[in-house]
Structure 1
Amino acid sequence: RSRSVPFEEIAFATRCCWATFYVDFCCCCTSKMFAIRVFGDFLHVLSFAVLLAKLWRTKSCAGISGKSQILYAIVFTMRYLDLPVNISADAFYLSSMKVVYIAISFMIVYMIYGPYKKSYDRDQDVLYNEFLVVPCFVLALYSSYNASPIEVLWTFSIFLEAIAIIPQLDLLCKIELVDGYVVCYLLALGLYRAMYLLKWAWLYYTTSYYEPIALFAGFVQTTLFALVFVRVFTMKQREQKSIYRVVV
């Protein structure tokens, strides 16, 4: 049976992430665009917190795609390769958060394939990451704004993040139950990307500027998350019907 998420744990994770959000917000401009972006970052940190809470509290990684987590670790590593040469006093906090993203991503991968590997859905999480990584890299080579390695890898990370949820969606289509932690994690992650789409929409509305690569990837990712939420909703409806039959 699925395990519901204790309210106290989600409340604690939310308070921790709210503190991060407040500091980040104070470091940024007070414009609406930056407020939207920072709220998106807050949701992203919240998704990390919920996923770590699941791993630590349940001692299980059931329902979590290790393949997707590997892709996210690659995404953040490739995107923030400029950290050693791009740290300044003004951006120290933001740079620190990038390091945190990379560290937590690899920590999650380690926990799934290390201490909690016995609970990993290895037989269901079988999508080959190579089929996602290679096309994204080739596309980045041809669509990057310039040929510098940092720029190409940044573009690659944008494309890869857009489809990194596919192994998770594939896993959800093969399992029957999903716990509340996984639902909260996916919800926070999906809303985080929705906030970034809203940020780009606001930027275009106010300045007529848009980022083609990020906007295209954002639409693709939002569409995939919509499919994820449809699948989760279907699973929860089926679970409720099963419980009703048992009670009756």
Structure 2
Amino acid sequence: MGQKGYQSPAKKVLSWIRKKSKKVKIFLGLITAISLLVTLKLVVHDHNLFFVIAEAIHLIGLLVLIYKLTTLKTCSGLSLKTQVLTAIFLAIRLYCSFIMEADIHTLLDFITLVATVWVIYMMKFKLKASYMAELDNMPLYYPIVPAAALAFFVHPTTSHILINRMLWAFCVYLESVSVLPQLRLMQNVQIIEPFSAHYVFALGVARFLGCAHWIIQVYDTAGAYIYLAGRGYFWIPTVFLAEMVQTFILADFCYYYCHERPVDRSPANAGYQSPVKKLLSWVQKQSKKVKIVLFIITVITLLVTLKLTVHDHNYFFVMAEAIHLIGLLILIYKLTTLNTCSGLSLKTQVLTVIFLAVRVYCSFIMERDIHTVLDLITLVATLWIIYMMKFKLKTSYMADLDNMSLNYVIVPAAVLAFFVHPTVKSYILINRMLWAFCVYLESISVLPQLRLMQNVQILEPFSAHYVFALGIARFLGCAHWIIQVYDNIGSPIFLDERSFLWIPMVFLAEMVQTFILADFCYYYVKSVMSGQLIIRLPVPV
């Protein structure tokens, strides 16, 4: 009832930002950028991965364009000149890459070059009638000549021949300004269709990652990296400047991309369905076995990505706890703005308080670190939610549908903790049992919420966001254990000092949590991508 015309927290934040002065927006942008940089520095151990990810995102942007060209049969809103510039710097970079390194970057550049050439071919010959030539009016020599002149004077001083070093510098400089014709065209058009917007946004993200690499390298070396001997006194500072230029060129567009939904009013694109929606629609039509296979492939892909990018696997737990807290903040937002707790299980919140209270106690006894702080904040937030549901908003609480007995959850967890717990000799038995109890209880604490959602069938967005956040958090926790097992070829499963069954049971508990929430997360993503405000769960057979 209270959901009509609601505005999501993200939209409210963006609306609030829009009303601020330019100085405040710049300040907020700097804070956001610094926060992202700190996160990347802490999470990604090999900073060269930034370039790999950036190139992969650029390729994804091109695939979005290819999808547009092949399905909508139009290249409106797309700059041919930006694609030509992209092909030029990619061809040069591919040549230099073969000469200088020949690695994963070479492969990605080759694939991206092929995709770009195909886009140019389609725009030049197959779809030239829809190409906005009169609006794509930036001369190519505007970006090419300055890049070539700068490359002539400022280039690396490595052992490679001079022409190759100049070519490498040229492709770096040209890349930094290659998007200008596209931005000029978009400025002329004013109304941007979604696929071109997605493509340029992908370029913005890619450029930010490239810039992040240089900023973190400079920070790690206390500025010495800027003037590395053997690379030319001005070369690295100029590369750094080029990355900054690319990032700032695209930053303003990315802000408006996030703030405004891209619009396409051309007849060719009326009623189009995004690739993600089509993919989800295709998945929905598949058999249960195919869905399971696709799910396993997706999970493995995510695990491999996490393993390659996150150097300290304990960050998984920190991120999981932080995401759980974000989910609770979403609920707090709902309770304070909509003044309703419909669709929310009080029993899940009670179970959450129980395992968090036990975990905070054990954490104080055993470790006292960032986990303790996050758990304490999460505990306070959960207690506040319970207070609101129990006293302030009790009329909207669906007590008749929140009908799972707490004993069904607490008793099995307590019994299992009594028999299977860590055998770390430095802690007394009761503390070890309590720690095991909170681990087991957490793994099934969401069951009352899922039961209520199953009873309701139609789920309002805030509760759905909260449960989805729990699903992401649980996946990260599960990922930690899977990667630990893989890294040690299964040996941690049976560490003698932790008892024969303790770690396997923890691993199983994380798996249980993940699979309990996996099905809901599928329907959540499907509904969100379909633009549905209300999430409809399938009727149980």
TM-score range, shorter chain: 0.7 to 0.9
Please list the CA deviations of residues 54-105 of structure 1 after superposition, one character each: whole Å capped at 9, or x if unmatched: 11111111100001110111111112213444566xx3x4432222122122
8 Å CA contact 2:346, 2:389 repeated in 1: yes
Q: Could you list the runs of 5+ residues in structure 2 that have no partner in the other structure? A: 17-30, 46-309, 494-502, 535-541
Q: How does 1:113-128 map to 2 (within 5 A)?
A: 113-128=390-405
Q: How does 1:103-118 map to 2 (within 5 A)?
A: 103-118=380-395
Q: Within 5 Å, give how 1:154-233 maps onto structure 2.
A: 154-208=435-489, 209-210=492-493, 211-229=503-521
Q: Is the 8 A contact 1:51 1:181 kept in 2?
A: yes
Conservation of the 8 A alpha-carbon contact between 2:359 and 2:375: no
Secondary structure (helix, strand or coil) at the match of 1:80 reads helix
Cα gap change, 1:159 to 1:34, in 2 (>3 Å)? closer
Query: Is the alpha carbon distance of 1:105 and 1:34 closer, same or farther for their aligned partners in structure 2, counting shifts above 3 Å?
Result: same
Query: In the alignment, which residue of structure 1 is the partner of 2:11?
Result: 8
Equivalent AA in structure 2 for residue 198 of structure 1: A
In the alignment, what sits opposite 2:416?
139
Larger-Rg structure: 2
Residue of structure 1 equivalent to 2:329? 49
Q: Which residue is 2:316 aligned to?
A: 36
Range with greater deviation from structure 2 (2-11 or 59-68): 2-11
Instruction: Find the counterpart in structure 2 of residue 246 from structure 1.
Output: none
* 1:100 aligned partner: 377
Decide whether the 8 Å contact of 1:9 with 1:53 is kept in 2: no
Task: Please name the residue that 1:150 is paired with.
Answer: 431
CA deviations over 1:150-209 (Å, ceiling 9, x no partner): 110111111111111111111111114322111211111100110111111121222332
Number of residue pairs matched?
232
Match in the other structure for 1:62: 342
Letter of the structure 1 residue corresponding to residue 442 of structure 2:
E
TM-score (norm 2): 0.38
Q: How much does 1:130 deviate?
A: 1.1
Output the amino acid matched with 1:72. Answer: T
Cα distance between partner residues in 1 of 2:351 and 2:35: 28
The whole-number CA distance in structure 2 between the counterparts of 1:154 and 1:10 is 39
Give the 3 Å change call, closer, same or farther, for CA 9–122 of structure 1 in structure 2: farther
Shift of 1:113: 0.7
Paired residues of 2:321 and 2:374 also in contact (CA < 8 A): no
User: 1:65·1:168 contact (CA, 8 Å) conserved in 2?
Assistant: yes
Give, in whole Å, the separation in 1 of the partners of 2:321 and 2:13.
17
Q: State how 1:83-98 maps to structure 2 within 5 Å.
A: 83-86=363-366, 91=369, 93-98=370-375
* 2:357 pairs with 1:77: yes
Question: What TM-score do you get using the length of structure 1 for normalisation?
Answer: 0.79
CA distance in 2: counterparts of 1:69 and 1:51, whole angstroms: 11
> For the residues of structure 2 that align with 1:159 and 1:116, how far apart are their CA atoms?
30
Superimposed CA distance per residue, residues 27-77 of structure 1 (whole angstroms, 9 cap, x where no aligned partner): 9x9724134333323322211221111111111111000011101111111
Instruction: Give SS of 1:155's match.
Output: helix
Change (3 A) 1:47 1:98: same
- Assess, with a 3 A threshold, how the Cα gap between structure 1 residues 84 and 201 changes in structure 2: closer, same or farther: closer
Higher relative contact order (CA 8 A, sep 6+): 1
Query: Cα deviation per residue 1:108-145 (whole Å; 9 max; x = unaligned)?
Result: 11111111111101111121101211111011101112
Where structure 1 has 5 or more consecutive residues not aligned to the other structure, the ranges are: 242-248
Could you tell which deviates more after superposition, 2-11 or 141-150?
2-11
Q: Secondary structure of 1:78's match? A: helix
Confirm or deny: 8 A CA contact 1:173 1:231 kept in the other structure: no
- Residue identity opposite 1:223 in structure 2: F
CA RMSD of aligned residues (A): 3.4
**What CA distance in whole angstroms lies between the structure 2 residues aligned with 1:63 and 1:200?**
32
